[in-house]
């Protein structure tokens, strides 16, 4: 950067600040207009423009047209946007210092205004409307017709969640999916290219084939899974991201044990698209429609009731008595009204489904004073990103009109990493939120860990109990609650509301009455199908639940006859088996699956599908490849050794040995009946069948 830009006087720095601000606000103005706005001569302006261009702060491009006074167009570079942010801070700090000095001279006392620690956006009232990306109804009707002829992308469930919050202002100030420059800034330092705080990459991930068809500046239609056009997007950026880098920076580790990292590597498309979005219509929700509010609808509601201070409670779990006490205390501490704002988009795999959770919320809503409490549903796709997610949640709640936000212990934590340790520290999220809350314009209310004190029959913050040695402190962890639900054990009233427990028991009956899936995996010839058949007969003999066998060969014949044996087709075959098994499990039946299923990521995806509805029991039939080859009645291994069968598991294609299977069965020198009995004993120990 030229020396004049780094060692200039305060007046010259102010002039540079005003130039960058003017070019950002009016990039198409003529030089004469720009010079007049700055109050300087054209010669001085040209010198300043040349210096800024040499310093990499602006780009200059030729503009076609007959008007010689408008021969050039100017735009800020990423460096220029960052310099504008720095100079804004500097300008505001100097003006504040001047004001403080004048205040002291006139009154003899300090002004009391706090120092500027961060760049601050103009504070927007929580009651004023915020920008949306929707066009008018009339324009939307025209745009629907035009968009029908555009190249279309069918959105995934996560992308639909993101698009909805882009269009309704929940992700304000974003105007669309991130450009590559914005993405890079968010990944590296949680800021867009213009310096605005934003911690989470919001990108449209697509396949390589789809991305290859697009040109810069092309418009595409964004459709839901039923084919309805929700928006159009102008594709300005098309790039292949470094996903390992994204995982490290956003989630803290490139570890597939993190659900969002697993999604990033194994589900998301390989190419990202960026560009502005034009909203045509919001996604249709047929469930709980009266509970779903856009940011502007909530702001209008708060405005109508005169709620100037609102504290938001983020939750993806049912509410119990400790949560009620926590939210009461948070509202009192902030002297604010309470918004219960649960996420009903995508949460962590294995969470209670949102239908059950919302019924639980509605069952206890009358426990709160109606005049000071409201509930609204947020269609957000969580990333479980811990500290970054907490900041993200705060910005989203600010957009929804909230002034305070409860940040919990290990907020949005995904659980354990591959080494069995927590991904984030218990208070990392609170520390990061506290660092940025002044800039965000929303205040944090610390989550208190509430426990029940039996002698006083009330909930109290655990770290505020001074006589803990003389009282009985009670608490039930999430793991213990799930165990009690699974085994049909009592859940005491001091812990939860009877109405909540009743709703949970409807969805989570005792394990012995739930559907479940037994998933055998192993080499070809390992004995999977034989053991699976024996297990099916034994379970049918016991009775009580329908049993379905999804053997690899049977599925290939009836469900996947058109598929080959490439990795892509084998993955698709296993996903089909998983889908059928999840439907059987959801409806209270027993699914027994016996494919080879060589890839760990695919087995994990099937587990997540099934565990939404019941137990998933992975059984590794650990027969050695040598023994399988010795047993080979069909001669498949011989053909694979000769190269006549391509991509044969164990010979020319890998097999990912299960690391955490519920059961490992050795079949060498063990009869089939004994192996099937081992599985029965495991099912009994898990409470899935009664002794």
User: Binding site for ATP: what residues are annotated?
Assistant: 522-529
Feature table: binding site? 522-529
Q: What are phi and psi of 76, to 5 degrees?
A: -75, 140
- Looking up tokens 């010689």 gives 68
Q: Which residues are catalytic?
A: 315-317
DSSP string computed for 390-453: HHHHHHHHHHTT-SEEEE-TTTT---B-TTSSBSS-TTHHHHHHHHHHHHHT-EEEEPP-EEEE
What CA–CA distance (Å, rounded) separates 188 from 135?
A: 33
Task: Identify the burial level of 213 via C-beta atoms within 10 angstroms of its C-beta, where 0-12 means exposed, 13-18 middle and 19 or more buried.
Answer: exposed
Task: Report which of 396, 391, 390 is spatially closest to residue 376, judged by C-alpha positions.
Answer: 396
Question: 3-state DSSP call for residue 471?
Answer: coil
Q: Which H/E stretch holds residue 275?
A: strand 271-279
Q: Phi first, then psi: give them for residue 206, nearest 5 degrees.
A: -135, 170
Burial zone of 110 (CB within 10 Å; 0-12 exposed, 13-18 middle, 19+ buried): exposed
What are the residues whose beta carbons fall under 8 Å from the beta carbon of 127, sequence distance 6 or more? 299, 302, 303, 308, 401
Radius of gyration, CA atoms only, the chain? 30
Q: What pairs with residue 74 in β-bridges?
A: 60
Sign (positive/negative) of CA torsion 665, 671, 675, 681? Answer: negative
Characterize the bridge pairing of strands 310-313 and 404-407.
parallel
Q: DSSP string spanning 323-389?
A: HHHHHHHHHHHHT-EEEE--B-SB--TTSPPHHHHHHHHHHHGGGS-TTTEEE-BB--B----THHH
Q: Checking DSSP bridges between strand 516-521 and strand 337-340, what pairing results, if any?
A: unpaired
307 CA to centre of own chain: 29
473-474, strands of its sheet edge to edge: 458-461, 450-453, 473-474
Give the pair of three-digit tokens for residue 331: 């509202």
| Whole-number Å distance between alpha carbons of 623 and 334 | 62
Q: Is 518 helix (H, G, I), strand (E, B) or coil?
A: strand
Task: Using alpha carbons, list the distances in angstroms from residue 25 to 34, 84, 365, 565.
Answer: 11, 12, 47, 58
| 255 CB-side CA count, 13 A | 17
Strand pairing class (271-279; 176-177): antiparallel
Token pair recorded at residue 71: 């021969």
Strand boundaries in 462-610, DSSP class E: 473-474, 516-521, 547-551, 590-594
| Count of other CB atoms within 10 angstroms of residue 228 | 13
Interior CA angle at 355 toward 354 and 357, to 5°?
60
């Amino acid at each position: 950067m030229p020396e004049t830009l780094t060692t200039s006087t305060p007046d010259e720095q102010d002039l540079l600040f005003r130039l960058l601000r003017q070019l950002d606000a009016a990039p198409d103005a003529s030089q004469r207009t720009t010079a007049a706005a700055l109050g300087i001569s054209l010669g001085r302006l040209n010198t300043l423009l040349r210096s800024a261009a040499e310093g990499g702060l602006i780009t200059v491009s030729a503009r076609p047209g007959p008007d010689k006074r408008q021969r050039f167009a100017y735009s800020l570079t990423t460096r220029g946007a960052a310099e504008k942010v720095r100079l804004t801070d500097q300008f505001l700090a100097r003006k504040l210092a001047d004001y403080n000095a004048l205040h002291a001279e006139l009154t003899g006392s300090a002004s009391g205004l706090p120092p500027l620690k961060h760049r601050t956006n103009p504070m927007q009232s929580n009651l004023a409307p915020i920008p949306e990306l929707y066009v008018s109804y009339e324009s939307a009707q025209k745009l629907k017709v035009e968009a029908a002829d555009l190249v279309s992308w069918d959105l995934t469930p996560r992308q639909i969640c993101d698009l909805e919050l882009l269009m309704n202002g929940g992700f304000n100030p974003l105007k669309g999916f991130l450009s590559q420059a914005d993405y890079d800034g968010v990944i590296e330092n949680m800021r867009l290219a213009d310096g605005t705080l934003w911690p989470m990459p919001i990108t449209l991930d697509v396949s390589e084939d789809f991305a290859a068809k697009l040109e810069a500046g092309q418009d595409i239609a964004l459709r839901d899974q039923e084919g309805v056009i929700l928006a159009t997007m102008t594709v300005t950026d098309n790039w292949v991201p470094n996903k390992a880098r994204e995982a490290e920076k956003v989630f803290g580790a490139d570890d597939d044990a993190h659900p969002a990292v697993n999604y990033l590597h194994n589900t998301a498309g390989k190419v990202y698209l960026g560009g502005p979005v034009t909203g045509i219509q919001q996604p249709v929700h047929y469930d709980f429609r009266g509970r779903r509010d856009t940011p502007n609808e909530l702001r209008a509601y708060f405005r109508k009731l005169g709620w100037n201070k609102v504290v938001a409670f983020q939750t993806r779990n049912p509410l119990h008595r400790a949560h009620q006490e926590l939210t009461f205390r948070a509202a009192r501490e902030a002297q604010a009204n309470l918004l219960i704002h649960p996420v009903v988009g995508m949460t962590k795999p294995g969470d209670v489904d949102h239908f059950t959770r919302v019924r639980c919320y509605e069952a206890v809503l009358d426990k709160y004073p109606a005049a000071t409490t409201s509930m609204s549903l947020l269609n957000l796709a969580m990333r479980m990103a811990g500290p970054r997610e907490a900041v993200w949640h705060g910005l989203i709640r600010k957009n929804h009109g909230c002034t305070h936000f409860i940040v919990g212990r290990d907020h949005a934590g995904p659980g354990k990493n591959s080494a069995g340790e927590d991904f984030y520290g218990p208070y990392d999220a609170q520390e990061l939120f506290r660092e940025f809350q002044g800039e965000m314009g929303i205040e944090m209310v610390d989550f208190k860990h509430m426990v029940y004190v039996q002698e006083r029959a009330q909930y109290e913050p655990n770290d505020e109990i001074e006589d803990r040695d003389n009282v009985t402190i009670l608490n039930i962890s999430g793991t213990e609650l799930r165990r009690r639900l699974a085994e049909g054990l009592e859940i005491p009233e001091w812990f939860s509301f009877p109405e909540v427990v009743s709703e949970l028991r409807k969805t989570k009956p005792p394990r012995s009455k739930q559907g479940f899936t037994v998933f055998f995996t192993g080499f070809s010839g390992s004995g999977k199908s034989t053991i699976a058949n024996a297990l099916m007969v034994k379970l049918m003999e016991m009775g009580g639940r329908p049993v379905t066998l999804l053997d690899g060969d049977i599925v290939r014949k009836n469900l996947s006859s058109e598929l080959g044996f490439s990795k892509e087709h084998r993955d698709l075959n296993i996903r089909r088996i998983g889908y059928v098994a999840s439907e059987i499990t959801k409806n209270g039946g027993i699914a027994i699956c016996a494919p080879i299923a060589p890839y760990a990521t695919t087995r994990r995806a099937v587990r997540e599908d099934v565990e939404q509805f019941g137990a998933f029991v992975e059984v590794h039939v650990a027969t050695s490849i040598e023994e399988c080859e010795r047993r080979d009645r069909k001669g498949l291994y011989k053909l694979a050794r000769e190269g006549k069968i391509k991509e044969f598991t164990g010979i020319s294609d890998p097999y990912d040995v299960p690391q955490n299977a519920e059961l490992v069965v050795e079949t060498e020198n063990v009869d089939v009946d004994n192996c099937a009995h081992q599985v029965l004993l495991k099912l009994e120990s898990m409470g899935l069948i009664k002794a």
